[in-house]
Structure formats: C-alpha cells, structure tokens
Chain A
Amino acid sequence: MKRVVFKSRWVPAVAALPQLLLIFLFFYWPAVSVMNWAFTLEPAFGGAGERIFVGWENFTSVFADTQYWNSVRVSLIFACSSTFITLALALVLALAVDRQLKGSKFFRFFYIWPYALAGPAVGTAFLFILSPERGLMAIVNAAHPDFWNPAKYGSHAMILIITCFVWKWVGYCFIFLLAGLQSIPRSLTEAAAMDGSGPLRRAIDIQIPMLTPTLFLLLILIATESFVGKDTYGIVDRTTYGGPNNATNVMVFNIVAKAFEGLDYSGAAAQSLMVIAIIMVFTFVQFRFVERRVHYR
C-alpha cells in the first residue's frame, strides 16, 4: 500500500478547510455566542444599546428561580422514567422476537416504524389518542369521572409525555438489541436449553450479560435524548405545553420558552450552558464508573 505524503503542509490544511469551516459555523460559533450571551444582557433585537457585561448574574438569577429547580426536577423524573421504561420494554420485545416466534419478521418491521415519526407528530397523535374527552379514555372517564385528565393533573400529564417518548424510541432500541442478541452464538443458548434452563434463566445468565455493551450505548443515547433531545421538546410542545401548572416544564422546554417566547436570550444561554455542564458530568460518570462493569467478552 502506498502512503500519501504531502510535500507542502498547506495542501492538507486547504483540503480540510471546508470541513473545519462547517464545524466552526455549526458548532463553535453558536457555542461562542451562547457563552457571550450567558454573561451579558442581550436585547432581543441586538445592538439596541451597549451590551452590558453582568458576570455570573444570569446564572445566579437562574439559580434563584424556583421555576428552574422545578424544571430540573421534572426533567429528571421524565428522563429516568423514559430511559428505564424504553430500555426494559425494548429488551423484552427483542428477547421475544429473537426466540423463533411466529410472525417475528413482521414484528421486526412493525417495531421500528414509530422511530421514523417526528416528536411533534407523535405528540399530536397521542394528544388525540389519550384525550380525556374522546376515545378509550372517555369511556373510562364516563365510568369514573376524572380518572384520566392530563390537562388537570400533573402526574397524568407526565405519564402522557413519557408514553409518547417511549413509544417513539422503543423500536429504535429494539433494533439495536435484536442485532446484539442475534450476534450471540446460537450454540450458547442452545447448549443452555439442552441443560434444561428456561428462557428467563437463559436471558439473565447468557443473553443480557452479553448484551451489556449495546445496553450501555443505548442507555447513554436514550438518557441524553430524553433529557435534552429535540423529541422531548417537540412532544411537550404539542401535548402539555409544560403544564398543567408547570408539571411537565422540562429543561429544554423551559429554555426554549425563555429564549423565544420571553425573548430572554441571555437567561436561556445561561441555562443552556448549565445543561451542557450537566450532560458532561453525566457522560463522564457513566464512562468512568458504569463502563468498568460492562462485559466485553
């Protein structure tokens, strides 16, 4: 094989320039703007007056805001529940399809398609499906008044947005887990079956341990997505709009509402930086401590 050696050090630089330019434009420039705004007070139309440097004030005012802590709490509840339910369901489904069940080919296709739908579309669909006044829930409500009402009860609203998120992402996780399961040599499970272990025992002792790399990857992916992803925003925007009484006002929604509805770019920038910090800590902790226990045999 021939190794390419550039005579001039400018040629590789020029070749890499378009890529670097794009990275700068789409990642670093916005990030620098956000950093800039987070420490100043930015007028909506920009440039109206001299931009005032305020130091950490944007951050202290966010920390002093009870609404912010509420959105952190709400986000944590949402992200933890969504991640756990999505992965658990996907795992059960993958194990089921991996066993040579009738119709498993059909289900493989069937489970993936919700992923193709955008978050807001899922939200709109479920807003209709789980409406307290129409359909299935209307029948339940007729028998037990106020049994289900996401516009009134915060907990119901939370269940509504978790349902949307799980529904959208479970198929995606399922495909990964199924691929993981199918790469486990069949001889292992077959040998275990011949030794008389049931499907549950085989799953716990052989399949799940061998799936841990996939599970770990998905855990980070889904946890991040549910915490700050665009789907979470889209779903909340279309279903509960952060309500009732801020019960589903997750962090991403709070930021967008602050920035665009409230035209408070500085406050939103400070919150964005905090989300980035949280994600970094989160990822660091996961790689540092969780990955060590992952089996890669």
Chain B
Amino acid sequence: MLTKIFGAASALALLAGLSGTAQAAPVKFEFWHGLSGDLGERVQEACTKFNASQTDYEINCVSQGAYDTNLQNTIAAYRAKKHPAITQVYDAGTLDLMMSNAFVPAKKLMADSGYKIDWDNYFPGIANYFATAKGELQSFPFNSSTAVFYYNADAFKKAGITDAPKTWEQVATDARKLKDAGFECPMAINFDPWFSLDQFSAIHNQPIATQANGYKGLDAEVVFNKTKVVDEIKFWKKQADEKLFVVKTKALGMDPIPAFSSQTCQMAMSSIADHGTVGKTIPAGVEWHVAMLPVFEGTERQKSLVGGASLWVMKDRPEAEYKGAAAFLNFIAQPDMVEWWSTVTGYIPVTKTGFQAMKANGFYDKPQFKGRELAIESLSFTEPSDNTRGIRLGNYTQIRKEFSTALEAIFMQNADVQTSLDEAAARSNTLLRRFEKTYAGQTLN
C-alpha cells in the first residue's frame, strides 16, 4: 500500500518534472527496525536528522516493536514484494539473512553508490559477526553491545568487599558475604542464553558448535553439552541452591536489570546498552559500577561477543532507493553521528574513529558514562578466533530457546544438568540438520 502511494508520488513528481515547474521531490524509502520505547524514539531522531541534512532523499523509519517481529514482518513483506529498503536484524538472525539471497552486500552497495568506506575502521570484534568467513562485511553494524557485569558498590562496601569480582569463584564468595550482610538477593541470574551460552563460551574460549561455530559450513553440530558450559551451569545451580544466586525473570515478576536498579539484587549481568537505563532508574546517590564478565579461575580470558543488531539492505528495490540507503548508512557512520548515538543510547561506537573521537572528547570520563569503555575493551580483548568471532548457526533463535528451556528445567524443576543439556543439544542438532537440508546445494560464504 505504502509503496503504491510512493509509486504514485514519484509518478506525479515525474509529471511535475516534465512540465518543468516544480523542484524534484526527494526519493522516499523505508527503514524497518525492531527498537521501541526510548530506543525507538532515538532511531526516529536519527532519521529526522538525516532528512534535515539533505534534500535528495527522505527516509521513513518504522518500528516493528521488537527484533523478532521485525524479522518476521520483513520476511512476510519480502515474500509479498513490499519490503523496505533497509531492515534491522538481530545477531541470531544473521545466518537466516546471509542464506536468504535477499540482500545487497554492504561492500557492493557502497561501492556502487560511490562511497569510499574504510572497512578496516570497523572494530574486528564487532564486524566479524556480520561478515563472511573471509571478513567481507555483509551488513552494517549499527546498534552494537556486549554483556557486562553490574554491581552495587554501596552494598559491596557494607559487606566489606573492596573490588569487583574477576572470577566466578569470587562472585560466589562475594555473594556469600553479601548474604551474610543481610542482602536477600546477592546475584541475579536469568535463563537468557546470551550470557550463559554465547558470552560465556566466547570469553572461556569454548566452542558452541563445530566448524568454527558454523562459519566453515552448514554441517556444524552444537557441542555446548560437552564444554565448560556444563561446569558453569552446575556452578550456578549450586549457588542457586544455596540461595546466593537468585533467578529473576519476567515470569517470576522481575528481570535482572530492574532487580538491580531497584537494589533488590546487588550483582547482575546485562547488556552495556542497559547502562543508560540503570543510570536513569537507580536511586540518585547509589554507587554502582560495571566490570567485565567474570571467568572461571585459571582461564585465559578471550574477547566477548557482540550483541545487538545490524542493518541489511534488501534486494529488489528501485535503483534510486539504493542511493538513498547508501547515503543514510554513510550518514550514520560519520563520527559525530556515532558519538551522538552512543551518548543517547548506551550502544557502543562501532568504528575505531568513532571511539577515538569519543575518547578525545572526554566522553568516558563523565561520571554518568564511566564504565562504558569496558564494553569496547571486552570486545577487543583478544583478536577474533574460531570461538570468539561469532555464531553462524541456522535456526539459532530456536537453539537458544532449547537451551533456555533446559535451564528452566534445571533451575525450576531440579532436572539433571548433564541430561537436560544433552537433550537440548540433541534437539538443537536436529534443527541444524533441518536448516542444512532446507538450504541444500548452497554454500556458506
């Protein structure tokens, strides 16, 4: 419907152009995204800034409410040939897009539109997630984050703890001290596999699946039931049984981040993107900090994985829209826009120049943004390797669901850790084989 209106509008513009009276109307195109609330408004603001910056193009940004609905709606729209020029897809949907044959690779788009992009300017720890195994960027990193460890320094002082915990063993000791000091919920945990599976495996140098986490082929098999992830879950379960770690989920009434900012729980893991939210919601005067995610003792820490989403340019749109899309992507990659975006959201800058500019401006020295540089440090702690480059598995949304269902059974119903994870792995492998078969005959870049 909208495309029809746009079509009619451009036809009218053409007529106007022929009669030689009116000025050419801007080329209009759509951008669908999955952010809502405060973050959604920020995206809108970025679009408004772009429209105000030039007269050739007009971007129309449409929120679809959430990442998964955006992906579903994009697919439905693509099948109906009514898709937007740009869509935002979360990390777990990366392989679905890569196999879709429905997008224009980032490099080709920018080259065709005459933009010179320094692709090496992107942090390798971020860009590799959205690049081919050879390192060719397929989509544009946009809102990137990683997981960090939040702790309440006031509560730590009351319990006589001086430093942020660096290892899981320390987290357990600190949790005991906090409990003894009268804090009911020392550490909040939830079933989100992004922390317990993705990030944990990366920083502990553990594979999630064979074939370099899927980068080397669609025949990968998950192995999370045979790695340190098993020890991690057993360790968490032991702490949970001693009531040192407390499960906080929406179904139980409260997610970890609200639990942390309401000072119900004193330690939590969450995305760096929540840094702004915590700052806004925690009572003024409470001292809190972030640290890198803890590792097990004796672990050689590796870089963590990037989270968030990237922007994909879709195939089968009029040529003029591609010029507009390229202009928009170029616009938001400029250092001042990167800085603005990181300031108002909490997402990290995705380019080295953006990060340098922010550092030079003293951004990370301001008390309300202190600690956000840890996310970059965590993401670039080591060079990307097979275990830390990213996750390239089909049906990954479903695999995450199998994993979190296993955690539900373990933490809520005392199911056996190894058995539950084995079952989740077996079911995940069935999903992978199905994905492989659906895309049989195609090769993974």
Tell me the A residues contacting B by CB distance below 8 Å. Answer: 41-50, 52, 54, 61, 65, 67, 131-134, 149-152, 154, 240-241, 243-246, 257, 260-264, 266-267
Give the secondary structure class of A's interface: loop
> Min CB distance, B319 to chain A, in Å?
21
Given known A-B contacts A48-B442, A261-B398, A267-B434, A243 and B408 have beta carbons under 8 A apart: yes
The answer to whether A41 and B437 have CB atoms under 8 Å apart is yes
> Min CB distance, B252 to chain A, in Å?
5
Question: How distant is the Cα of A30 from the Cα of B79 in the complex, in angstroms?
Answer: 14
Given known A-B contacts A45-B100, A261-B398, A245 and B408 have beta carbons under 8 A apart: yes
Given known A-B contacts A134-B253, A151-B249, A245 and B79 have beta carbons under 8 A apart: no
> Min CB distance, A38 to chain B, in Å?
14
Q: Does B99 contact A (CB under 8 A)?
A: yes
The answer to whether A42 and B405 have CB atoms under 8 Å apart is no
Residues of B within 8 A of A245 (CB): 405, 408-409, 412-413, 415
Segment 403-419 of B: residues with Cβ below 8 Å from A: 405, 408-409, 412-413, 415
Given known A-B contacts A245-B412, A261-B397, A262-B431, A48 and B72 have beta carbons under 8 A apart: no
Q: Does B233 contact A (CB under 8 A)?
A: no
> Min CB distance, A153 to chain B, in Å?
8
Name B253's contact: one of A47, A48, A132, A263 (CB within 8 Å). A132
Question: How distant is the Cα of A185 from the Cα of B72 in the complex, in angstroms?
Answer: 56
Residues of A within 8 A of B78 (CB): 45-46
Question: How distant is the Cα of A286 from the Cα of B253 in the complex, in angstroms?
Answer: 42
Give B99's nearest chain A residue, CB to CB. Answer: A48
Question: How distant is the Cα of A48 from the Cα of B315 in the complex, in angstroms?
Answer: 12
Name B395's contact: one of A65, A132, A262, A266 (CB within 8 Å). A262
Give the secondary structure class of B's interface: helix
> Min CB distance, A33 to chain B, in Å?
11
Residues of B within 8 A of A243 (CB): 251, 405, 408
The answer to whether A262 and B398 have CB atoms under 8 Å apart is yes
Give A40's nearest chain B residue, CB to CB. Answer: B438
Given known A-B contacts A151-B249, A244-B412, A45 and B102 have beta carbons under 8 A apart: yes
Tell me the B residues contacting A by CB distance below 8 Å. Answer: 68, 71-72, 75, 78-79, 96, 99-102, 249, 251-254, 395, 397-398, 401, 405, 408-409, 412-413, 415, 427, 430-431, 434, 437-442
The answer to whether B427 and A42 have CB atoms under 8 Å apart is no
Given known A-B contacts A245-B405, A262-B395, A264-B434, A43 and B100 have beta carbons under 8 A apart: yes
Given contacts A45-B102, A151-B251, A244-B412, 14 further A-B contacts (CB under 8 A): A41-B438, A43-B99, A43-B439, A45-B100, A47-B101, A52-B438, A67-B427, A133-B253, A149-B252, A151-B253, A243-B405, A261-B397, A263-B71, A263-B395
Residues of A within 8 A of B401 (CB): 257, 261
Selected A-B contacts with CB under 8 Å, 12 pairs: A43-B99, A43-B439, A44-B96, A48-B99, A52-B437, A52-B440, A151-B252, A152-B413, A240-B251, A243-B251, A261-B401, A266-B438
Residues of B within 8 A of A50 (CB): 441
Residues of B within 8 A of A262 (CB): 395, 397-398, 431
The answer to whether B79 and A46 have CB atoms under 8 Å apart is yes
The answer to whether B405 and A48 have CB atoms under 8 Å apart is no
The answer to whether B439 and A263 have CB atoms under 8 Å apart is no
The answer to whether A44 and B100 have CB atoms under 8 Å apart is yes
Residues of B within 8 A of A131 (CB): 253
The answer to whether B96 and A263 have CB atoms under 8 Å apart is yes
Name A61's contact: one of B72, B398, B434 (CB within 8 Å). B434
Give A243's nearest chain B residue, CB to CB. Answer: B408
Given known A-B contacts A151-B249, A151-B252, A48 and B100 have beta carbons under 8 A apart: yes
> Min CB distance, A239 to chain B, in Å?
9
Name A43's contact: one of B413, B431, B438 (CB within 8 Å). B438
Residues of B within 8 A of A54 (CB): 437
Give A249's nearest chain B residue, CB to CB. Answer: B405
Question: How distant is the Cα of A132 from the Cα of B247 in the complex, in angstroms?
Answer: 14
Best-buried of B249, B395, B434 by chain A (most CB within 10 Å): B434
Give A43's nearest chain B residue, CB to CB. Answer: B438
Residues of A within 8 A of B434 (CB): 41, 61, 264, 267
